[in-house]
Amino acid sequence: MNTTYKSNNNVVYSCKYHVVWCPKYRRKVLTNGVDVRLKELLTEYAANLSVDILEMEIMPDHVHMLLEVDPQFGIHKAVKSFKGYTSRILRQEFPHLKTKMPTLWTNSYFVSTVGGAPLEAVKQYIENQKTSQRQKDKMG
């Protein structure tokens, strides 16, 4: 698998996350234009953060995103920023979102790292570092 790496001034990285979050009470409110506007807002706001949206799908009662995030910014900060920004704007633009629920999003979310080498391959690579360094030292 060919991994492309990103970098900032201090870090070279490849940090990809599958993130899912839901509206409060898992209400099916991400429909009738709210879903389209949410996608626009997330895409637009990602440009302001250290975040690349690799894939995104808006379901009536939850949001799926595949994100690449600068580790110095952090996935938690990225999700909180997305949720705060979109909640504020969507509740202004779609007044029915204010009357149905006290807040648009739940406080919680799901996140899982994705991509890169399988865990066992990374463990094996790390275990083999000393052996391969000894071999290089012997060769001169």
Domains of the chain plus CATH, in order, are: 13-139 (3.30.70.1290)
Strand partners, 114: 16
Q: What is this structure's pTM?
A: 0.84
107 - beta bridge partners?
Answer: none
Residue 133's pLDDT band, with cuts at 50, 70 and 90, is low
Give tens-digit pLDDT for 68-109.
Answer: 999 999 999 999 999 999 999 999 999 999 987 899 999 999
d(CA 5, CA 45): 22
Contact at 8 Å (CB) between 130 and 98?
Answer: no
- Contact by Cβ (8 Å): 56, 41: no
Residues forming the active site = 125
pLDDT for res 73? 94
In whole angstroms, what is the distance from residue 63 CA to residue 92 CA?
Answer: 20
With cut-offs at 50, 70 and 90, classify the pLDDT of residue 62. very high
pLDDT at 2: 59
